Structure 1
Amino acid sequence: MMLFTRQPPRVLSLLLQAAQRVERRAQGVSLSGGCWIHLEGERPETGEDVHSLKTSPLGQPPRQDDIGCQDSPSPLPTPTPASLAGLPRRRALHPPTPSARPTPPVPGRANSYPRTLWPPAHSRQPPPEPGRRTREPPQEPLSSPGRKRRRSGSGIERQLLQGAREGAPLGARPQPRAPGQAGRQGLAAPAAGSTNGRARRGARRAAPGGLKTARAGGGLRTRATPSEPRARARQPCPAGAQSRPAPMAPETPAQGPTPRYFTWDEVAQRSGRGKEQWLVIDRKVYNISEFTRRHPGGSRVISHYAGQDATDPFVAFHINKSLVRKYMNSLLIGELSPEQPSFEPTKNKELTDEFRELRATVEQMGLMKPNHIFFLLYLLHILLLDVAAWLTLWVFGTSFVPFLLCAVLLSTVQAQAGWLQHDFGHLSVFSTSTWNHLLHHFVIGQLKGAPASWWNHLHFQHHAKPNCFRKDPDINMHPFFFALGKILSVELGKQKKKYMPYNHQHKYFFLIGPPALLPLYFQWYIFYFVIQRKKWVDLAWMVTFYVRIVLTYVPLLGLKGFLGLFFMVRFLESNWFVWVTQMNHIPMHIDHDQNKDWFSTQLQATCNVHKSAFNDWFSGHLNFQIEHHLFPTMPRHNYHKVAPLVQSLCAKHGIQYQSKPLLSAFADIVYSLKESGQLWLDAYLQQ
Structure 2
Amino acid sequence: MPPVSILAAPVTDASDGADCPAGSDFAPLLREVKEHGLFKRRPGYYAAAITLNLAALGAIWSGVLLLGGSWLVLLLALPAAVFGARTAFFGHDAGHQQIARSRDRNRLIGLVHANLLLGMSYGWWNDKHNRHHANPNHIEKDPDVEVGALVWTRAQAVERQGFARFLTRHQARLFFPMLLLEGIALKVSSFQSLKSRPARERGVEGALLTAHLLGYVSLLLIAMPVGQAIAFALLHHALFGLHLGSAFAPNHKGMEMPEPGSRWGHLRRQVLTSRNVRGGLVTDWFLGGLNYQIEHHLFPNMPRPHLRLTQPLVREHCARLGVRYTETGLLDSYAQALSHMHEVGAPLREAAPTS
Same fold at TM > 0.5: yes
- For residues 664-675 of structure 1, the aligned pairs below 5 Å read 664-675=332-343
Equivalent residue, structure 2, for 1:637: 305
* CA–CA separation in structure 2 for the residues paired with 1:481 and 1:595: 29
Equivalent residue, structure 1, for 2:285: 617
Q: Is residue 412–residue 573 contact of structure 1 (8 Å, CA) maintained in 2? A: yes
* CA–CA separation in structure 2 for the residues paired with 1:362 and 1:467: 25
* CA–CA separation in structure 1 for the residues paired with 2:59 and 2:106: 27
Equivalent residue, structure 1, for 2:48: 377
Equivalent residue, structure 2, for 1:552: 219
* CA–CA separation in structure 2 for the residues paired with 1:514 and 1:619: 16
Question: Letter of the aligned partner of 2:292 in structure 1?
Answer: F
Residue 588, structure 1, aligned to residue 252, structure 2: no
Equivalent residue, structure 2, for 1:526: 190
Residue 507, structure 1, aligned to residue 169, structure 2: no
What secondary structure does 1:358 align onto?
helix
* CA–CA separation in structure 2 for the residues paired with 1:627 and 1:646: 7
- For residues 268-667 of structure 1, the aligned pairs below 5 Å read 312-313=17-18, 352=24, 354-401=25-72, 403-477=73-147, 481-484=149-152, 488-489=153-154, 491-492=155-156, 497-499=159-161, 500-501=165-166, 502-511=168-177, 513-519=178-184, 521-533=185-197, 534=199, 535-593=202-260, 594-667=262-335
* CA–CA separation in structure 2 for the residues paired with 1:472 and 1:648: 28
Q: Is residue 389–residue 405 contact of structure 1 (8 Å, CA) maintained in 2? A: no
* CA–CA separation in structure 1 for the residues paired with 2:257 and 2:351: 17
Question: Letter of the aligned partner of 2:39 in structure 1?
Answer: M
* CA–CA separation in structure 2 for the residues paired with 1:596 and 1:621: 26
Equivalent residue, structure 2, for 1:282: none
Q: Is residue 392–residue 405 contact of structure 1 (8 Å, CA) maintained in 2? A: no
Deviations 1:497-545 (A, max 9, x none): 343144432223244x3122232x3221211111343411111122222
Larger radius of gyration: 1
Where in structure 1 do 4 or more consecutive aligned residues deviate above 6 Å? 682-685
Question: Letter of the aligned partner of 1:497 in structure 2?
Answer: E
* CA–CA separation in structure 1 for the residues paired with 2:106 and 2:276: 26
Flag the structure with higher helix content: 2
Equivalent residue, structure 2, for 1:29: none
Shift of 1:472: 0.9
Deviations 1:9-28 (A, max 9, x none): xxxxxxxxxxxxxxxxxxxx
Q: How many correspondences in the alignment?
A: 332
Shift of 1:647: 0.8
Shift of 1:591: 4.2
Shift of 1:682: 6.5
Deviations 1:630-672 (A, max 9, x none): 0000001001111111111211122111111112212222222
* CA–CA separation in structure 1 for the residues paired with 2:235 and 2:169: 30
* CA–CA separation in structure 2 for the residues paired with 1:684 and 1:468: 29
Shift of 1:565: 1.9
Change (3 A) 1:654 1:433: same
Shift of 1:462: 0.6
* CA–CA separation in structure 1 for the residues paired with 2:56 and 2:219: 15
Equivalent residue, structure 2, for 1:677: 345
* CA–CA separation in structure 2 for the residues paired with 1:536 and 1:365: 42
Q: Is residue 183–residue 237 contact of structure 2 (8 Å, CA) maintained in 1? A: yes
- TM (norm. structure 2) is 0.85
What secondary structure does 1:369 align onto?
coil
- For residues 238-257 of structure 1, the aligned pairs below 5 Å read none
Shift of 1:681: 5.7
Shift of 1:602: 0.8
Q: Is residue 492–residue 680 contact of structure 1 (8 Å, CA) maintained in 2? A: no
Question: Letter of the aligned partner of 1:369 in structure 2?
Answer: K
Change (3 A) 1:482 1:421: closer
Question: Letter of the aligned partner of 2:277 in structure 1?
Answer: V
* CA–CA separation in structure 1 for the residues paired with 2:351 and 2:40: 50
Shift of 1:492: 5.0
* CA–CA separation in structure 1 for the residues paired with 2:328 and 2:105: 35
Deviations 1:453-472 (A, max 9, x none): 11112100110000011311
- TM (norm. structure 1) is 0.46
Shift of 1:414: 1.4
* CA–CA separation in structure 2 for the residues paired with 1:637 and 1:456: 21
Question: Letter of the aligned partner of 1:391 in structure 2?
Answer: S
* Mean Cα deviation higher: 360-369 or 421-430: 360-369
* CA–CA separation in structure 2 for the residues paired with 1:447 and 1:482: 28
* CA–CA separation in structure 2 for the residues paired with 1:642 and 1:532: 37
* CA–CA separation in structure 2 for the residues paired with 1:510 and 1:453: 27
Shift of 1:314: 6.2
Shift of 1:313: 3.0
Q: Is residue 15–residue 264 contact of structure 2 (8 Å, CA) maintained in 1? A: no
Change (3 A) 1:313 1:538: farther
Shift of 1:560: 3.9
Q: Is residue 66–residue 223 contact of structure 2 (8 Å, CA) maintained in 1? A: no
* CA–CA separation in structure 1 for the residues paired with 2:193 and 2:174: 28
Q: Is residue 68–residue 224 contact of structure 2 (8 Å, CA) maintained in 1? A: no
* CA–CA separation in structure 2 for the residues paired with 1:680 and 1:589: 22
The alignment-based identity, stated in percent, is 25
Q: Is residue 191–residue 209 contact of structure 2 (8 Å, CA) maintained in 1? A: no
Question: Letter of the aligned partner of 2:217 in structure 1?
Answer: V
Question: Letter of the aligned partner of 2:18 in structure 1?
Answer: P
What secondary structure does 2:224 align onto?
helix
Change (3 A) 1:518 1:476: farther
* Mean Cα deviation higher: 660-669 or 615-624: 660-669
Equivalent residue, structure 2, for 1:97: none
What secondary structure does 1:312 align onto?
coil
Q: Is residue 121–residue 190 contact of structure 2 (8 Å, CA) maintained in 1? A: yes
* CA–CA separation in structure 2 for the residues paired with 1:390 and 1:625: 32
Change (3 A) 1:679 1:643: farther
